[in-house]
Amino acid sequence: MGKENKPLCKWDKDDIKDRIKELKKIVSEPRFVCRKCARVAKKEENLCKPEEL
């Protein structure tokens, strides 16, 4: 799995720092929540255990 398509759940602090613009896109208008990590995302592929909001 490359860096480009790893789920938000797997991002570390360096990913967040380097990809803050992308992160903002992913979490704006959230439609799914991860029931393991409590993160939110617009697309379910960005989360490891997505559940619809």
**Considering the rule CB under 5 A, would residue 27 count as an interface residue with Zn ion?**
no
Tokens 């255990």 identify what position? 49
Residue number with the shortest CB distance to Zn ion?
A: 9
The partner residues of 32 in beta bridges, in order of sequence, read 41, 52
Sole window of 16-24, 25-33, 36-44 interacting with Zn ion (rule: CB under 5 A): 36-44
**Considering the rule CB under 5 A, would residue 36 count as an interface residue with Zn ion?**
yes
DSSP for 9-35, written as a single string = GG--HHHHHHTHHHHHHHHSS--EEET
**Considering the rule CB under 5 A, would residue 37 count as an interface residue with Zn ion?**
yes
Q: Which 8-state DSSP code applies to residue 45?
A: G
Give the footprint of Zn ion on this chain (CB under 5 A).
9, 34, 36-37, 47-48
